[in-house]
Structure 1
C-alpha cells in the first residue's frame, strides 16, 4: 500500500498534504463520534445509526480526496493522458456538496485541492484543455459556495448553490460545442445567438417545471427515506418564496443571454487569436514556411531511398529477376511520388495510400525469406476526393519496420487504415526488440517521428488525435485525422 501511495504521490509536498488531509478527516470523524455518543446517551437514544451515518459521510470525503490525488492530479500533470473521467469525479464531489454529504469545511479543502491541481496542470497537453477549464469552474463554485455559507440573505445562497452551476455548464457548452460549430456556418454570430437563446429558454423552462413539480409534491416527499441534512437541501429549492423563484427563473434567462453569451463569444475569439499567434510563432521557430516544411519532409526521403536501394541489392543477390523487377517498379513509383507530389501542401488521400502500399511491399520483399516475421496490412481502398498533407503516415510505418523487425526473434507488424466520412483512422502495431549496445540507432525513436508530430500540430490543430503506447515488447500508434475534401 505504501509503495502504491509513493508511486502516486511522487513529491514530498504531495505526501505531506495527503497526510494532513487524512489527519483532518480522522480527527473530524473521532470528534463527531464522541459528540454523537455524548448527545445520544444524554437523551437515552440509539447511537449506532448516527455513528454509521457520520462514518459514511467521512468515507465519502476520503474517497473524494483519494480520487483527486490518485487520478486527477497525475492525469492533469501528464503530457498525453486524457482526463475524461475527471468530469465524473468533479460531478460526484459537487453532488455530494449539494446534498450536504460533504460539509462546508471539507468542501473548501477539496475546492482548494482541485484549484491546486489546476494550477499544477501540464499546459502542453491541449487534449485536456476542456477538463482543465471544468476543474477551474468546479473549484471556483465550491469555494464561492463555502464563502456563501456565512451569508444570511437567502437568495444569494440559492443562486450560488443551484443557478451558478447551470450558468457554468452553459458557458462550457457554448465554448466547446456551439462556438466551434458556429465557425463553420455562414452567419456564425446569428447561429451562435440562436443556439444560446434556445439553451437559455430550455434551462429556464426546466426551472419552471421543477418548481411546479416540487410544489405539487410537497415538502414531505423525501422525509421517509433521507437523513435530515440531505433532506434539507433536497427540499430547500421547492420551499423558496414565490418572489425568489421568479427572480431565479428570470435571472437565469437574462444572465445566460446578456452575460454568458457575449462572455463566451469574447473568450473564444481571444483564444482563437492567441492560437493563431502561437501557430505563427511556431511556424517561425520550427521553420515551418513552405521551404522549411519541405526540408523536414526531405529528412525522411534520403534515409528511405538508401534503405530501399540496399533492399533491392540484397534481393538481387538472392534471385535473378522477378522480385528485383517488382521492387524496382515500386521504387520508381515512389521516387516519382516524392519528386512530383511530395512537395505539395496537400495531395489526394488515394495517392498517399498508394505510396504507403508501395513502401510496405518493398519491405515485404526484404523480409519474405525470413521466418518468424508476420506483416499484416488492412488498408482499405479509397477513391474519394479527400486531401491530406503528404508524408504524414509513412514515418510511423517506417518506424515499425525499423524497430519492429528482428532476424533472430519472432516479429510482427500490423498496419490498418480506413476512412469514414471525412475521418481517417490509422493504426500501426509492431513488436519491439532490444538493440545491440553498439547499434548507433539504439536510442533513436524513428526517422521523422518528431517531425510528423510537429506537422500534425501545425497542419491539423484540434483536428487530429495521436495516441502512442509502448510496452517492453510492443509499440502502438493510433491516429484519427479530420480531412478536407478537394475543392
Structure 2
C-alpha cells in the first residue's frame, strides 16, 4: 500500500472515531446524564454543559488535533530530518497545551474529587500529575506510531534475518505492528474513562509476543518441520516449549517494572493461552492454506521457467554461427598443420555436441562433466588464437575430485561472452579464467579485455550469448544460493560468480 493511501486511510479512521466520540458526548448531553451520579452522591451542583459536554469536547478535540499534527506534520518532517529544532519545539508545545487543557477539563468534569483533598493546591497538583502522565504516555504512542509509519519498512529491512526470509515478511510484520500500535492508542485514549489497566497491560504485552511467535512459526518452524516430514503434533509441542520460554521472559520483564497486584499473573496466563490456543493453530492454518499453495505454484513456475530457459539456451547454442566458426577453425588448422591437431579438435567438438544434445537436458550433472565441456570449448578457442602472439589466455580451472553437481550449461555463457567480446586478432587482448571449490561453494572468475569493434562488425551491437538467459536460470534455480557480480570498465569486463552446489 502506498504511503499516500495509508495517510488518507489514517485520516479518515481518526476522523470517524472523533465523530463517533462527538455523537456519544452529544447523546449523553441530550439525556442530561454524563457523570452526574458522582456529583449527586457528593452533594455538588451539576451542570451537564459545564461539567460534562465542554470538558469532554475539549479533551477529545485536543487528542484528535494532536494526532493529526504528530502523524501528518511533525513526525514526517523529523523522520526526514527537516527543521528538526522547530518540529521538536512544536511537539513539546502541543504536548504542554494538551496537558494543561486536559487538567483544566478534568477539574470541571471531575470536580467532585476536589473535596477529597485538604486544599486546592494538593488537588490541582494531583490533577496535573494525572494529566501529565496520561498525555505524555498517549503522545509517546502517537509519536512512536507516526515514526514507525515513516521508517518502519526501512528499519525492518535492516534486520538481516528478515531479509533472508520470504519477500512479503517485512510488509506483513509492518502491517501487524501498525495494527497493534493503533489498538494501543485506542486503549490509551479510553483509559481515562474505563481505568482498565489490566486489559491495557495485557494488550501491551500479548500482541507482540503473539506476532513474534506467529511469524517465527510460519516462516521458520513449520517449513523446517515440513521439510523433515514432521506433523502438527511435533509443531504443537515445540510451540508449547517456545511459549513457556516467552512467558518466562515476560515474567522477568514485568516483574522488573511492576509491583504487586494480580496484573502480572493474569497477563501471563492470558498471554500463554493466546500463544498456545490461538496463535499456534492459526499459524499452522495460514501456512497450510497460503504458503503451501504458493510453494506449489512457485515450483510449477520454476519448472516452467527452467524448461523455457533450457530450450532457449539450447536454441542459442545449436546455431550455424557457432558450428561454422568451429568448422572454419578446424579447416584452417588442417591447412597449417598435420591431421593430429585437426583430429584432436574434431574430437573435442564431438564431445561438446554430445554434451549439448544429451546431458544438457538433465536437471543436474556432475561438476566434472560441466568442466570437461568448459575445457573443450577453451581448447578449441586456443586452437583458433594460437597463431596470434598478442592474445593471452590464462586458465586456472581446479580439478574436481568431489561429488558436487550443477545445472548444465551454467558456466559456459560467461566464457563464450569473454571470447566473443574480449578477443581481437588485430589488437592485444587477454582472457583470464579461474575456478575453484571450497567444500560445496564454487568460485568462478572471468576477466577479459575490451576493444572497440569495427562499424561493419555484425557482433558490435549484440550482447553476449546467453548472458541474460543464465541470469534468469540462476534466479530460478539458485535463488538465495548465488552471488553474481558483473563489472565493466573502459578496458576490462569482469565477472564473479559464487555458487552453493549440492
Q: State TM-score, norm by structure 2.
A: 0.60
Once the two structures are TM-superposed, the CA of residue 355 in structure 1 deviates from its matched residue by 1.7
Cα deviations by residue, 1:320-371 (Å, 9 ceiling, x for unpaired): 4565444333223222322332233433333223222322333344444443
Contact 1:300–1:395 (CA<8 Å) still a contact in 2?
A: no
SS at the partner of 2:463? coil
Cα distance in structure 1, aligned partners of 2:393 and 2:140: 60
Q: How does 1:72-471 map to 2 (within 5 A)?
A: 103-114=140-151, 130=166, 132-138=168-174, 140-142=176-178, 144-145=180-181, 148-150=184-186, 151=188, 152=191, 153-211=196-254, 214=256, 238-239=257-258, 241-269=260-288, 270-280=290-300, 288=307, 293-294=310-311, 296-302=313-319, 303-316=321-334, 319-320=337-338, 323-368=341-386, 369-371=388-390, 373-384=392-403, 386-406=404-424, 408=427, 410-418=429-437, 420=439, 423-431=440-448, 433=450, 435-436=452-453, 437-458=455-476, 460=477, 462=479, 464-471=481-488
Kindly tell me the number of residue pairs found equivalent between the two proteins: 369
Unpaired segments ≥5 residues, structure 1: 1-16, 38-99, 215-237
Once the two structures are TM-superposed, the CA of residue 466 in structure 1 deviates from its matched residue by 4.4
SS at the partner of 1:467? strand
Cα distance in structure 1, aligned partners of 2:201 and 2:424: 67
Contact 1:463–1:481 (CA<8 Å) still a contact in 2?
A: no
Cα deviations by residue, 1:73-96 (Å, 9 ceiling, x for unpaired): xxxxxxxxxxxxxxxxxxxxxxxx
SS at the partner of 1:441? coil
Cα distance in structure 2, aligned partners of 1:127 and 1:444: 36
Cα deviations by residue, 1:394-419 (Å, 9 ceiling, x for unpaired): 22332233334455355343332425
Whose helix proportion is higher, 1 or 2? Answer: 2
**Which segment is superposed worse, 268-277 or 371-380?**
371-380
Alpha-carbon distance change, 299 to 105 in structure 1, aligned in 2, over 3 angstroms: same
SS at the partner of 2:464? coil
Alpha-carbon distance change, 147 to 184 in structure 1, aligned in 2, over 3 angstroms: closer
Contact 2:244–2:272 (CA<8 Å) still a contact in 1?
A: yes
Q: State TM-score, norm by structure 1.
A: 0.62
Match of 1:28 in 2: 87
